Structure 1
Amino acid sequence: MNSPTMKWLAGAGLAIGMAGSALAGVVQMQNGNQVSTVEYRGDNYLRMSSEGQQGYMLQRDDKLYMVTDGMVIDAGATMKMFSGMVPDSGPQATAIKSMEKTGRHETVAGIRGRVWMVTYTDHKGREKTDEVVLSGDKRVIELRDAMMGFSKTMLKASGKDASQVDAVFNALREKDKGYLRFGNEMKVVSISDENVSKSRFELPAEPTTMPNMGNIFSGSANAEAGASADGAEASAGGGFSLGKLFGQKAERQQDRVEERTDAEVDQQTDNVVDKALDKAFNKLFGK
């Protein structure tokens, strides 16, 4: 289990909002040809979905879930389960070094913003500069707060340094700005402060925690040990081996769980989170 998603999970965690209860809105963000929708309400409810995908990610009650085909996966527990299985991806210290006005303006999603050149240190310790469109529009600032909080606690829950998000958040907050576009990587397509019904954040089923891989391996090993003993008896007596049967069943179940785990997690994180946030936020926060 060493997929790109597992690496993402190693640097992610539960999500909570940072802004006040007045937050509410719907935002569409474009990354390449992929358009993702972010809905938020108050400081504890956020939902992300990608165009063409049935599943979505849901933040509520300080927890993060992945929902697909009516099944709800406790993403926080999953991240903790796999966090120790993946090596650290590199230096996490990230900071904004400078923000300078260009004197130009640009309208994004119907909102006039100012173009800035932002120099920052990325997650690999490299210094980079990108063009960013910032605005003091109330809706844009609310989006900033909701997404910054989401990113910060993703890092915190997995034991990563969340102060890197503080550096970025504080730099924008000091200027009383939010972002509309980040280089050519991400831009806001539409944004509104419409009220979002609480029903959009309800769980369609009870959360499921993915089976503990350690227990599965242990159970399989014990079953195989029993299979060896039963195998000897079967050879002598000519009967079938009950232990071997259970051992094979445990192995098949293990394979199914791993395949399902990879499929569910990959689909949700790669197609929902990565498309909307990965490129832009990795530049600022790292993986």
Structure 2
Amino acid sequence: MFRPMILALAAMLAATPALAGGIATLEASGNGRNHTMDVFWLDPGTVRIDAPVEGSYSVMRDGTFYTVSTMGGSLMVLEMDDSMRDMAEGLGQAVGAELEKHRATSVESITATGATETVAGIKGEVYEVQWTDGTGTARTDTVVLTDDPLVLELTRAMAATGAAVGEPDDPRNEALEQLGLGVLSSGSQFRIQAISGDTPPAELFELPAPPMSMQDMLRGHTTPGQQ
């Protein structure tokens, strides 16, 4: 569900100092629908994304990505391990042409238009990003970028989740890294609705039960603490 979101944000990685933590509400589009999600972070390796589906969320701790959900009345914590990455890669191959439209192979230019736009109370500059996707098609995205430190923190935190789930490096990362800019919005795909520098409580990032692997789940196993 979050793959397009994570791809879009990972593509917009920018350099930033050490994270201080924060909270943001994001609006994203995917599968023809718009949805919102809340993001909490303490540092680059500690991020939580609350899903639009009540009771479902993802946590990244120490560079490892976990999904938390309820299935058949049972609480399930899945660790993103190699088997899950292989499964995700297999699904990606099944819909390869569509995913290739989101994967950049090169960036031709990032150009300021001279226009400005205020997003979530933060003034940003409008840029056009010209890039080539995995099918060889030239594309142009209109994005709103800023050097606001808090937005840079959010951008890096979300990009880190992309790396944790095994997303490949994107050439747009280095391009924006050189500019030192974070993303306020990217076309109709992503937009920050609200953002604050409030430090979220550490317990938000605790796992509610011991994690299972994909193989455990396929075998029908549960872990202690799961009912």
Range of TM-score over shorter length: 0.7 to 0.9
Q: Which runs of 5+ in 2 are unaligned?
A: 221-227
Counterpart among 160, 166, 171 of residue 175 in structure 2: 171
| Superposition TM-score, scaled by structure 1 size | 0.61
Please report how far the alpha carbon of residue 176 of structure 1 lies from its aligned counterpart in structure 2 after TM superposition: 1.4
Query: Deviations for 1:23-53, whole angstroms, at most 9, x for unmatched residues?
Result: 3111111125311111111121111112342
Identity of aligned residues (%): 28
Residue 123 (structure 1) aligns with: 134
Name the CA shift for 1:23/1:96 in 2 (closer, same or farther; >3 Å). Answer: farther
Task: Report deviation, 1:206.
Answer: 0.7
Shift of 1:57: 0.9
Classify the secondary structure of the residue corresponding to 1:116.
strand
**Partners in 1 of 2:65 and 2:196 — Cα distance?**
23
Number of matched pairs: 198
Verify the 8 A CA contact 1:72 1:207 in the aligned structure 2. Answer: yes
Q: Which has the higher contact order (CA 8 A, sep 6+)?
A: 2
Higher helix share: 1
**Equivalent residues of 1:20, 1:42 under 8 A apart:** no
Compared with structure 1, are the counterparts of its residues 116 and 87 closer, same or farther at alpha carbon in structure 2 (3 Å cutoff)?
Answer: closer
Match of 1:72 in 2: 77
Q: Structure 1 or 2: larger strand share?
A: 2
Sort the Cα spacing of 1:26 and 1:121 in 2 relative to 1 into closer, same or farther, 3 A.
same
User: In structure 2, how many angstroms separate the alpha carbons of the residues matched to 1:87 and 1:44?
Assistant: 25
The 4+ residue runs of structure 1 with deviation greater than 6 A are: none
Instruction: Report Cα offsets for 1:184-204 as digits up to 9, x if no partner.
Output: 221110111111111110010
Q: Structure 1 residues 107 and 170 mapped into 2: Cα distance closer, same or farther (>3 Å)? A: same
The amino acid of 1:74's aligned partner reads E
Q: Which residue of 2 aligns with 1:274?
A: none
TM-score by length of 2: 0.75
User: Which residue of the partner structure matches residue 221 of structure 1?
Assistant: none
Gaps of 5+ in 1: 157-161, 217-253, 258-287
Q: What is the CA distance between 1:19 and its match in structure 2?
A: 6.4
